[in-house]
Amino acid sequence: MRLKDRLARHGAFAFRWRGLGPLVLLPAAIPALVESVRIELWAGETWNDLWMAACLLLSFAGLAIRVATVGFVPAGTSGRNTSGQRATRLNVTGMYSVVRNPLYLGNFVILLGIVLSLKVWWFAAVFGLAYALYIERIVMAEEDFLAGRFGAGYATWTARTPAFWPRWRNWRNPDMAFSLRTVLRREYNGFFFILLAFTTLEAFTDMAMEGQSLDFWLADDWTWPALFMLGLAVHFTLRTLKKQTRLLHIDGR
């Protein structure tokens, strides 16, 4: 088997199980958490709070990239499907006019914010390398599929549009209007995931590794459980609306 075909085959496998990709970082996360606690104690609470706030904003910037993508796309594209590739049309406007993989870019920024919150430089470097290798194979499988489906049109688009780093001068206005209901239907999981990840890291490092009691943590770091409860309420509300009603559904989206 040619190396290109082998990588594409690996990419198809990774595409199917891409939601589990972050788990490969778990072995490196344990020593990173230990070092994170040491750095936090050395730097002090004020500096740590400011750093965590900046990292949280970075993750929400990644979510904003996804929102700016998903809010303009039609049905049948930019999906969360895992069983296989699908595309009824080629997206070449909006975020897709400046970068070919805006959703993966958004995911990277979301995860980067979470990883940087640990304040461990080598763990961030490991994450960056692992993500690049992982996404490269997924994108290769997707590009094989899209090239076969859209032919010359796809080749023209890839020639002018970078794969991962945006080229903003290429911007073309989206073909469709922005749909807030589509965003609410499709991105509530990402919103909750960010708040869950930050709250879990804060709770684990403070209670399991620094020995704080639950009562003390809830009183001292009340912001994180409050944000978690907000995320949980938003998640279940939007999930119920999506599963039980047609309120968030728009034909063609």
- Give me the mean pLDDT over the 1-11 stretch: 53
Long-range contacts of 82-89 (CB under 8 A, 24+ apart): 82/15, 82/16, 82/17, 82/18, 82/19, 83/16, 84/16, 85/15, 85/141, 85/142, 85/145, 85/146, 87/145, 87/146, 87/149, 87/150
Q: Kindly tell me if the per-residue pLDDT of 33 is higher than 60.
A: yes
- Percent pLDDT > 70 in the chain is 85
Asked whether residue 70 is domain-assigned, the answer is: yes
Q: For 176-198, how does the pLDDT look when each residue is reduced to its tens digit (9 = 90+)?
A: 889 999 999 999 999 999 999 99
Whether residue 149 lies inside any domain: the answer is yes
Domain-located, residue 139? yes
What's the domain count of the chain? 1
In a domain, 84, yes or no: yes
The answer to the question of residue 66 being in a domain is yes
| pLDDT single digits (tens) 51-90 | 999 999 999 999 999 999 999 988 766 555 544 455 667 8
Residue range of the domain that includes 10:
3-244
Identify the CATH number of the domain in which residue 228 sits. Answer: 1.20.120
